[in-house]
Structure 1
Amino acid sequence: MKSPFLAFFLLLITRVAYAHLGTLTGTVVDGTTGLPLRSVTVQLVGLGKATLTDELGRYRFHGLVASPYKVEFSHVGYGPFVQDVTVFDDQTTHVQTRLSTAPVTLNAVTVSALKAHDQQLISSLDIRLRPITNSQEILRMVPGLFIGQHAGGGKAEQIFLRGFDIDHGTDIRLTVDDMPVNMVSHAHGQGYADLHFVIPELVEAVDFKKGPYSTDKGNFTTAGWANFRTRTTLDKSFVKLEGGQYGTFRAVAGLDLLGQAGRAKNQSAYLASEYSYSDSYFEHPQNFKRFNIQGKYHGHLSPNTHLTLTGSTFWSKWNHSGQIPDRAVESDLIGWFGSIDPSEGGETSRTNVNAQLVTVTPRNHTIKNQFFYSNYNFELYSNFTFFLNDSLNGDQIRQKENRNLFGYNGSYSTQTAVGRSQWTTTLGAQYRQDLTRGTELSHTRNRVETLDRIQYGNINEINAALYADELVQVTDRFSVNAGVRYDFFRSQYEDLRAAPVTVRHATQGVLSPKLNLYYTANPGLQLYLNTGRGFHSNDARVVVPQNGREILPPAYGSDLGAIFKPFPKLLVNAAAWYLWLQQEFVYVGDEGVVEPSGKTRRFGFDLSMRYQLTPKLYADLDLNTTRPRAIGAEAGQVYLPLAPTFTSVGGLSLQNAGPWSGSLRYRYLANRPANEDNSIVAKGYFVNDLQVNYSKRHYTLGLTVQNLFNVRWKETQFATESRLQGEAEPVEEIHFTPGTPFFARLSLTYFW
């Protein structure tokens, strides 16, 4: 009888004690724009209690003894701030805090145990320190990611990451404001991801993670994923004019539509546009044109709900010189920047609508809803093999499609406390449907005459997914993230070449579990182990004829890594990793397509370092080594063509040195096999770039130089069998696109 009475008595005392405790809530906003800041670290000084702000910039501390407190706020790119707050018994004290932007200092960067799974210190630092001058620089924000352009500037870049020749996006998931960029069953290649509709001046942040470890990321997340967040508001309106060598001109403008009056009502809106033109450095002018326009509105429908609407449209048209064979240059048939078939080129456009609604309930539950739509058009003329298949007309091909893409992303997150642990549960649903008309691969001549339609049809592809994710902060130092997602695919192909027209479809599902462990020993050291299963889908034109077999080949990966600060001004991220794929994609030069191949495995080591040399000078270094191999291949045929084995990127960045800022950078890609037996080698390169800015209150002058020392290098390379006009026999050797020579551009940006 005594035990129940004693338990009841203790519970009563506890409830009485807690009845007189107070609560502290607050909102953190940007001091200039007045918009909420998420992921700000909020600490009660001296108590060891800390939290992060949510989507609406809010935070909450429960069960505080009535007393004065010092609340410390810190966020990358903002000055640290300490606020005095008094909490009273039985009351909720609410404060609003405005943070001001400030130069980045590595002293202020701490490795936090809070939401360790979402912590991305490297990208947060880089976006603040490294200037973004074009769309390519956006992709290079991901440490270890290399890109190459081989079709005149208007085509999506070829991507290399973690021992992958990803082609144009087959094994990396790319999104902009969580709207998909990769195109499934694309006319040019599976996962084709064209980011040229993004205006680089509007990029606010780059979120990324290498490997298949994020529950809310599905298709193409094998090597990793990256999400580019565009600005919610413009600090100032601006106009930028840029001109350079090779007939290059660019104009960009951004207009803040609501100004301070809108911010006072928690609203913002802007309109931005870009026009680019360049003849480029090739002997045959590219006549490259690109036009972008983007508008964005952000507003609070209520104190706990905000709506973001984004609309954009993009159009581009160009000529290009294609990939040229070594023998044509060595024999002086053409110059280094010449062309075998100068009639190659393309045209593409994309129009997007993106609506995002976020609600945080009084109990701190977060509800997210997103609806998106894209209309996309693509037409590309290429000639990879010249006169191999048709000695009279040549081997030029046309790849063309018209696509409507629409979908939904939704999630519901709750936070609960169980003893000392914090549980964050997220349930999500995703839907995407792609409808294409006239997806075509044809044999053409001079971009005018269609000689033969090789493939011609309509595609209807659906990807629906459900996922559950649990993040448990077990203690102040140890957290566990576990999740599982299920993806369902339905692929339909209508073959318009068949007589009569045939419609076939295939379905399949895949389950992808994830498990991630994090241990934060102190504010200077965090260890982590990431594990998970991912996948990339196959082209509908491949899987439908096979009755649905091998639609969703899986990938299994693991990262063992550490984020640490050996001393206050040095931040290091190191990871050893392993990845196994059930099915690889291999480029087939004579057809200009990518085909499924066998099993592969990769393992390697990534190292990223950020060091503050002086209050104004920063150094960064990324080293990435990989051993990619085919499994079960014949002896001597185990190499993966064009897969990078060693890459390095680094540089110096100068910030706030009076009116001066800028960076000096290098990129190094080592030699790598170009075919399965390594008998043909793709040569590496070492290239330097320079950026210098001079800024005053209302204007900035900039100088950008690509390939500062004017080295001769091959930006993209393929081992391709081809035949030149008049040759009796075909030859297999390196075909390449020459890299940019010394290329200087001046810019003037005016702000108001």
Structure 2
Amino acid sequence: MECRFFSPPGRLRAGICCPSAHIGILACILVVASVPSMASGEVQPASASGSTAITLDTIQVKGQGVDARSSAYSSDRFGSADIAAERVSDVEALFRNIPGMTVRYFGYGGVASSTVIRGFGGGGHGGDLGVAVDGIPLNEANSHADGYVDVQILVPLEIESLTVYRGPVSALYGNFNRGGLVAFNTRKSGEYRELDVSAGGYGTFDAQAALGASPGERHQLNVAAQAFHTDSFRAQSTTERRTGALRYGFAPTERTEVSVSTRVHKTIADNASRITRAQFETDPFGIDPRTRNDGAIKDFKTLRGDINFSPSSDLHILSFAYSTRQQFTRFFTRPVSADEFLQREETYDRDVYGLGTSLNASAMLLGRPVVFVVGVEGFSETTEFQFFDGLDNRRRVAPALSDRESVIDSRSAYFEANVDAHRFLDLSLGARYDRFKGTCRPLGPEAGNNPCDTLESIDNISPKLGISSQLSPWLKLRGSYSEGFALPGGFTKYAPGAQSLDPNQIAQTELGVLVTPTDSVSLDAVAYRISSTEEFRAVAPGEFENFGSTLRNGLEMSARWQASDAFDVRAVYGQARSRVRINANPALLGKEVTGVPEKTATLNLGWDPTQPLRLDASLRHVGKAWIDTANTRRASGYTTLDLGASYLFQTRAPVRAYIKIDNVLDRRYTTASGVSFGTELLTPGAPRQFTIGAQVGF
């Protein structure tokens, strides 16, 4: 019996103890999902639509009062019903339904993939995409890559809503927000007991459970758990993932709620790494014989406390404090020259402590309604980093290239508001101030020569301004200007010769139009321009300067057509172009950013031939992308087709059984490509795969 997967830090324990065997895990999750409500003996549907708050009118998180859907900025929102309908085991799969957004899967279990958004290709595996859970940033400040973030710590069934802000438009979040932001809000209210269990090819098994209960008039409990296993379609690619999340809220008065929440996650994975182009052509699902016993191990724990006070229905004061403890080690084999492959180890131990408070309010200004949020927050993140190269099957045989501790301290203040200035004019206003400082010190002997000193204070102010106009019931126009930023990457920021650097500045301008000629038809289109200036370059060993500029342009569209009560069509499309305008290497001028597909598109069709039966199809296209900075090699694009069917059994506990067939045509394609020391390395995409499952509401 193993309990550590679901044991939160400190004294608080979630009370969930699951064995490692699949049958035991499923039985344990069934127990969680079947806990009866103490407030009602009625059977609840498999939907959050019946959720009710405990005492407060709304359980809020940071900035929730400023609705992204009513602002002038481009954003996309999915509710819990939308997420459940996708039947995913990993929330990254939802990003394919965002215009211009795609995930470059590296195929490394336990390691974050790379997400493309607005012409930036380093989201998730780098710092181009911000991610927040209930208002708290999930990005890692200084580990594998600045801004690295792994969303697999979330259980899809626990998510109340997912909002994607395209571009650096949100003032509520700062660093790593340059390409966009994904904000997850978890479920915090309601009576529900839900289970989603599925099994598929290559030994894939997924069990998710979610529970919402009100033990008393002023109490609220929300629990979620997930157990995932796959042997994968490649050798040496087994992944085990366990997640548990718990939130307990208590309302001592009608105006106040206090809550404590915790999350525990563990991943253990073996990885086959990438293969060469020649290997892909002969054996697309094989493993390079030079790859060793690669893999990853991750332990993630977080504990959080919230106090929400509402003096009135129009005023909410939200305060939170949290801590995160993470241990993450990855082993991977890659070329270090044209002929030599070596295994590398990276180990990160992270401790994060943060707190913040914000005031969310609605008021009248000169007779016009205003909704706004103003707040302050800060965090301190300490990372112990060890880097070894040339391992003998995970055994260290040489001194550490890096063995050090880095500290990042951040203090921020922000303001955001929506102003209904005129019946034809809505304003979205925002600004954010960030200050960073930090230190770096060796913990042991180091064979490498990366800088490790002090990060002097870096300050940045990011303004946001948007205007929208509802010219008619069927036509809405919008335009906005917003700024973001990036700190010098990696350990560069700790170099004495980098202390005079300014942040890399990101400036986005966009124009959009929303057309809704009928209730059943809508079309949203936006054109954007993003200028990246004050980029960084080394002018001498240990000396750096702001030098470099890149321009990104793109077009994004989404459409919906409810052709009838039984048939619906949804589509998203994005195209992105980039140009290097200023660079220390003249040969790179005019070249495009690597890893960004020129076009992406998703077409979703849904048909309900009878009320209990639903059929759906999803056609996904990802275009070609440059894989080297000189733009001499391109990754091939690909198109895949997925089919699905589900049937709702109206029993006492409603059950929706489903089947999915991914990559129906069994296409051979790659999800990520790159060039290292002249060697083209590819990650093969998954072949045809069948999945069967059931969603149950108790």
Q: TM-score range by the shorter chain?
A: 0.7 to 0.9
1:600 equivalent among 532, 538, 550: 550
1:740 equivalent among 678, 682, 686: 686
Q: Report SS of the residue matched to 1:395.
A: strand
Q: Is the 8 A contact 2:452 2:491 kept in 1?
A: no
1:733 shift after superposition: 4.2
Separation of aligned partners in 1, 2:58 and 2:150: 31
**How far does the alpha carbon of each residue in 1:147-187 deviate from its partner, in whole angstroms, 9 at most, with x for none?**
1221433211111112221252411111112222111111x
1:194 shift after superposition: 0.3
1:399 equivalent among 341, 346, 355: 346
Q: Structure 1 residues 387 and 632 mapped into 2: Cα distance closer, same or farther (>3 Å)?
A: closer
2:384 equivalent among 401, 426, 437: 437
Other-structure match for 1:514: 464
Amino acid paired to 1:214: S
**How far does the alpha carbon of each residue in 1:32-56 deviate from its partner, in whole angstroms, 9 at most, with x for none?**
3322899xxxxxxxxxxxxxx9667
Alignment of 1:223-242 (within 5 A): 223-233=179-189, 235-242=191-198
Q: Percent identity?
A: 18
1:604 shift after superposition: 1.1
Separation of aligned partners in 2, 1:448 and 1:157: 26
415-424 vs 500-509, which deviates more?
A: 500-509
1:319 equivalent among 270, 295, 315: 270
Separation of aligned partners in 2, 1:308 and 1:659: 39
Other-structure match for 2:622: 669
1:435 shift after superposition: 0.9
Give the TM-score taking structure 1 as reference length: 0.77
Other-structure match for 2:132: 175
Separation of aligned partners in 2, 1:425 and 1:373: 27
Alignment of 1:428 with 2:375, yes or no, is yes
Other-structure match for 1:589: none
Separation of aligned partners in 2, 1:712 and 1:470: 48
Other-structure match for 1:296: 247
2:443 equivalent among 492, 496, 511: 496
1:606 shift after superposition: 0.8
Other-structure match for 1:343: 293
Amino acid paired to 2:671: E
Q: Is the 8 A contact 2:504 2:536 kept in 1?
A: no
2:656 equivalent among 695, 700, 705: 700
Separation of aligned partners in 2, 1:324 and 1:596: 36
* Long gaps (5+) in structure 1: 1-29, 39-52, 58-111, 587-594, 722-731
Separation of aligned partners in 2, 1:203 and 1:441: 38
Q: Is the 8 A contact 2:646 2:657 kept in 1?
A: yes
**How far does the alpha carbon of each residue in 1:465-488 deviate from its partner, in whole angstroms, 9 at most, with x for none?**
112334321123312222222100
Other-structure match for 1:134: 89
Q: Is the 8 A contact 1:445 1:451 kept in 2?
A: no
Give the TM-score taking structure 2 as reference length: 0.83
**How far does the alpha carbon of each residue in 1:622-657 deviate from its partner, in whole angstroms, 9 at most, with x for none?**
111111111124256522122222111121134694
Separation of aligned partners in 2, 1:464 and 1:661: 50
Other-structure match for 1:202: 158
Q: Report SS of the residue matched to 2:154.
A: coil
Q: Report SS of the residue matched to 1:667.
A: strand
2:560 equivalent among 603, 610, 634: 610
Separation of aligned partners in 2, 1:424 and 1:579: 28
Other-structure match for 2:45: none
Alignment of 1:109-120 (within 5 A): 115-117=70-72
RMSD in angstroms over aligned alpha carbons? 3.1
Alignment of 1:529 with 2:479, yes or no, is yes
Q: Structure 1 residues 126 and 538 mapped into 2: Cα distance closer, same or farther (>3 Å)?
A: farther
1:639 equivalent among 592, 617, 640: 592
**How far does the alpha carbon of each residue in 1:114-158 deviate from its partner, in whole angstroms, 9 at most, with x for none?**
943589565459836842412122444533211122143321111
Other-structure match for 1:185: 142
Other-structure match for 1:33: 51
Separation of aligned partners in 2, 1:415 and 1:243: 47
Q: Is the 8 A contact 2:338 2:679 kept in 1?
A: no
Amino acid paired to 1:649: T
Q: Is the 8 A contact 2:345 2:391 kept in 1?
A: yes
Q: Is the 8 A contact 2:76 2:163 kept in 1?
A: no
1:252 equivalent among 205, 208, 212: 208
1:424 shift after superposition: 3.6
Amino acid paired to 2:88: T
1:427 shift after superposition: 2.1
Alignment of 1:310 with 2:261, yes or no, is yes
* Long gaps (5+) in structure 2: 1-47, 62-66, 538-544
Q: Is the 8 A contact 1:496 1:502 kept in 2?
A: no
**How far does the alpha carbon of each residue in 1:84-110 deviate from its partner, in whole angstroms, 9 at most, with x for none?**
xxxxxxxxxxxxxxxxxxxxxxxxxxx
Other-structure match for 1:487: 434
Other-structure match for 2:322: 372
Q: Is the 8 A contact 1:242 1:745 kept in 2?
A: yes
1:446 shift after superposition: 1.0
1:378 shift after superposition: 0.8
Separation of aligned partners in 1, 2:410 and 2:175: 9
Q: Is the 8 A contact 1:36 1:56 kept in 2?
A: no
Q: Is the 8 A contact 1:557 1:579 kept in 2?
A: yes
Q: Report SS of the residue matched to 2:673.
A: strand
Other-structure match for 1:356: 306
Q: Structure 1 residues 121 and 735 mapped into 2: Cα distance closer, same or farther (>3 Å)?
A: closer
Q: Report SS of the residue matched to 1:201.
A: helix
1:401 shift after superposition: 0.6
Separation of aligned partners in 1, 2:480 and 2:413: 21
Other-structure match for 1:716: 672
**How far does the alpha carbon of each residue in 1:193-233 deviate from its partner, in whole angstroms, 9 at most, with x for none?**
10111111112211121111222121111111111112224
Separation of aligned partners in 2, 1:118 and 1:533: 12
Alignment of 1:38-49 (within 5 A): none
Amino acid paired to 2:177: T
Separation of aligned partners in 2, 1:383 and 1:408: 39
Separation of aligned partners in 2, 1:666 and 1:411: 42
Separation of aligned partners in 1, 2:470 and 2:226: 44
Q: Structure 1 residues 318 and 122 mapped into 2: Cα distance closer, same or farther (>3 Å)?
A: closer
Q: Structure 1 residues 520 and 356 mapped into 2: Cα distance closer, same or farther (>3 Å)?
A: farther
482-491 vs 424-433, which deviates more?
A: 424-433
1:602 shift after superposition: 0.2
Other-structure match for 1:475: 422
Other-structure match for 2:26: none
Q: Is the 8 A contact 1:269 1:297 kept in 2?
A: yes
Separation of aligned partners in 2, 1:272 and 1:542: 40
Other-structure match for 1:268: 220
Q: Report SS of the residue matched to 1:143.
A: coil
Other-structure match for 1:164: 120
1:336 shift after superposition: 3.7
Other-structure match for 2:16: none
> Which structure carries more relative contact order (alpha carbon 8 Å, separation 6+)?
2
1:571 shift after superposition: 1.5
Other-structure match for 2:455: 505
Separation of aligned partners in 1, 2:277 and 2:690: 27
Other-structure match for 1:217: 173
Q: Is the 8 A contact 1:176 1:228 kept in 2?
A: yes
Q: Report SS of the residue matched to 2:564.
A: coil
Q: Structure 1 residues 327 and 33 mapped into 2: Cα distance closer, same or farther (>3 Å)?
A: closer
